[in-house]
Amino acid sequence: MIKASVTVMLKKAIFDPQGMAVKHGLDSIGFKNIDDVRVGRQIIIQIDSNDFGHAEEEVKEMCDKLLANPVVESWSHTLELMQ
């Protein structure tokens, strides 16, 4: 079993209202030294396979086809074997 951790974030050039809201919230409860906050999605996928090469290709295809919006989002991922 392979565990794929996919992180999808808005591209740097894209305004992130959710991150801005969190930044303001943190500021209002006393955290004054926050420069920037960005909020994205973390998607954990358990793939029933032990073939890392195939899983790698699958994850890329999943991101392109369903998990991320390539117009405004970028994504990264890691794979690890689950015991």
Q: Which residues bind a second copy (CB under 8 A)?
A: 1, 7-9, 19, 22, 25-26, 29, 31, 33-49, 58, 61-62, 65-67
Q: Which is nearer to a second copy, 8 or 79 (CB)?
A: 8
| 59 exposure class (CB count in 10 Å sphere: 0-12, 13-18, 19+) | buried
Under 8 Å between Cβ of 82 and 43: no
Minimum CB–partner distance for residue 30 and a second copy (Å): 9
Task: Please report how close the Cβ of residue 9 comes to a second copy at its closest, in angstroms.
Answer: 7
Is there a contact between 68 and 62 (Cβ–Cβ < 8 Å)? no
Residue 54, token pair as written in the block: 């195939």
CB of 41 to a second copy, least distance (A): 6
